[in-house]
Structure 1
Amino acid sequence: MRIGNILQFTEHHRYYIFRDFSLSSLDYKILSLIYQPMIGAFAVALYQQLYHGISDGASGYSSLEPQRKLFLGLGLEMNERGRKHLVEQASRLEAVGLLQTSRLALPEQSDLIYEYELAKPLTPGEFFQTQHLVMLLRDKVGKYALIALRESFGAQEPDELASVQLSKENISVPFYELFQLNPQSVDPELEQALSEVAPSRQAAPRLKQETAGIPYGEIILRFPRNSANRSYVERLRGDGEQLGQLNYVAYKYSLNASDLCRLLDEDGVFAPDGLLLIDELQMRANQMYRQDKKREGDRQRTIARVQQSQAEVMEDNIEEFGVQEEYYLSVPSLLDGRCDIHQYNMLMRNEPHTRFLQRFFPGAVPDWIERSFERIDLNYRLPAPVINVLIHYVIGMNDAHRMTKTFVEAVVSNMLVKQVDTFEKAVGYVREQGKVEADKEQRQENARSVGTSGRGGSRAGARGGASRKPSIPIVQDTEAASQVSPEKLEEMRQLARKLDGK
């Protein structure tokens, strides 16, 4: 509960309670053994007092009461200390999901009203699947006590049934096999009356996970009868959780009922005891999805080749587009002497990329280059003139560093981001990139020249400022230092003889 000013939460403010459930003996046990060690006995007492604010045989809203009733019922003092303590206990309930508190402001009054919406405690199965609550309980009671609590909430299966492999068949009778409704006996007055007396507030519906919607009947109808996994698949009839996981995998990887049956028929999808290995199934579904995607890409490229060959037969009837001189690109050195600048730009503007690509190679085009540009054409949907300008940029400008898959993919991605979809935009992009590369080379050349001059001169001059190292005087030979008087020389000889012991 976030209260900015404690004066906004006092015993004089009114409150009401809302709940749409009732507690069972199992819920009381969960509150006592699981929630109470986590949040404390006082917080559980606050929860029970709010719960009994509405009679046990009803659900909905309570009447408006001043919060003095809560303070007196919990034995709290009606002062700042008692208010802070009540806020703290309510916050504990909110943190574990048992309470939601809201503050309402009436439009014509300055008074505030507090709403306490209670939530039902989680069942043992739901609680022990909620990781953060389990970790909190472990920190409070310890690991071994947590394991003992988990065992205390479940009754074990009889040993006679647990030791054998049973074949489970759902023989329950559905509603429409036993009862028949008269579709003509629609009572509008009854529907109106039910809508009028319905509670104005309904419990929030739980979000359903997206699934493929493949029923069990369609799976078992398509599954082979002589398969080794037939008995395991038949057990899925009464297991709604595993059927839901199957449908989610089918929805995730766009599988139909036939694909799902093909995966369930493979070895290693089921454990020896018949349990579905969902991780293994998901991995194989991913492989099937990638293979189908690759085959679809190959099919699209094959169809495109056929359509292109048919278009080449009729290319004489296709209208050619002219190129203005301001959008001319220079002829690469690879095609120098074979065409002039006007012919080259007309070819680049009007030829298919397959024909234009062949002009840069004396023989066959390498396979990886051809596949790369096919993918650019079919998957990225770039127009043919833009692809030809791309070929001019990465191949025609004769830079060995550009002939890599990484560079081609980077240029294509940049074009797609900048929405280069016409010949003119592609020419502008190439010229802009040329300026960027020229500026980069100029900066590198300047850096190299500065480094060379810095090594030849002093370090301080290369940096353009004073040197950080102190200047050390260098001893230089002078003519005065080289001249020694005869008397000084004789003294030096005598000192040397004394040192030698003579």
Structure 2
Amino acid sequence: MRITNMLHFSEYHRYYVVRDFSLSSMDLKMLSTIYQPMIGAYAISLYHTLYQQLPADKVGSSLMEQQRKLFLSLELEGGERGRKWFIEQTSKLEAIGLLKTCRRFVEASDDYVYEYTLYAPLPPEEFFKNQHLILLLRDKVGKYMVFSLRDELISAEHEELREANSENLSVPFYELFRLNTQVVDYELEEALFDAAGTKQDQSRPEVVIKGFQYSDIIMHFPRESGNRAYVERLKYEPEQMAQINFVAKKYGLYLTDMCRLLDEDGVFDPNGEIALELLQHKANSMFRQDKKRSEERARYLARVEQGRGAASEAAVSKEAAVEKAVEMEFYLGVPDIFQGECNQHQYNFILRNEPYTFLLEKIFSKGTVPDGLLDTLAKVDLNYGLSDEVINVLIHYLYVNKRSWSRASIEFSVTDMLAKQVGTYEEAVQYIREQSKYKDAKSSPRGGRTGASSASSQRGGTRGKAKPQLPVVEDKPAAASQRTAEEREAMRRRAQMLDGKI
């Protein structure tokens, strides 16, 4: 029993005992001859005292009483000394699997109630299959005494029948009995369902926290922290411990990192609840910082390795010894900057076999390659794991399509390639071709769509009334010849007649 504060465990706290078995003569002999030498007579007497809290012919839960009754039955003195003795004996019973202790908080009384669940002793066959129990018994009574106890409790099988064939002659249930399934008894089914539900709740397993335990966190957490009181409450809050372990697993945090986050201001609200959004935000920031430092460290180590003369030369010679050919269907066109320097076969051979730094030096021939671009491509090479041939195809795509050379643009394309599992030269070529087709289709005029829409509108005229076509005012060219004097005079008279002057 793990009790850190003696004020939480006293003879005035209530308790009850749960068991679902009754001790047989074999169980009593196992307790006296096997279990008692391992944990002592005091622990076995405590086991019998707890067993007798419920009548021998009943199973279930006993009445709820104060632990003072147990202390008086065991002749324990009240106070810290008697409590420590009681905790020590229950811990021995728990360690060998005879007892499980739980503590439940009752809101009505604002206090704890202790639940003692007893388990029957293991039968001899199962006990002598448990290695740790046998080793404990050997340490207490000796090896030859263990052999003697085994021979006393287990009768050996007849030697002449060990290798004999066996035939099962037992009769199955439904060959002998026939059940009346025509009558449905709802009251019986409801009673059986309630009993099964109650049994399931009693035998429900405890919440197992995977990841950091409370003991690990409290051991590494600073004592002078303002959040110390909130962290100590986590011992009785399995849901919050599950949230902490979820955040730690999500962002790959170590125990020291999580303790540092729990020490931050605002992680706990005034009620002691964890502010999950703020905790995840801080954990994400720490994860990004660690990721950035690890990537920089990997690039630095790569530069150190490249600086070593013999090793780098051996690696370069080894890579140069293996030359990869390019199939005709995956040929890429030669950009204008390489026109006159190499043909299409040579250019694709460069993309397939040369490092990306060589291609960058050719593109930026008028000056040095910018450091920001080198750092970005080094991150793509060393941290993201793209090969030189794939990076060369990416550089070709950026240059030919006049895309931006910024870090965001490169990482956007690299992320798309990684998500689509692009890892070889052929896959990279197929990827940029699909991107080019998508870009051409997006930027192409929609004349074909207009024709299709007009055709569909004509087809729709047979089914319903079409919209009327409104006349459009068109610009007419001016007359090529000037009007004569007679025509102008006739027009003037016509205008005066319309005005009523004539």
Range into which the TM-score falls when normalised by the shorter chain: 0.3 to 0.5
Task: Calculate the TM-score normalised by the size of structure 1.
Answer: 0.46
- Under a length normalisation based on structure 2, what TM-score does the superposition of the two structures give? 0.46
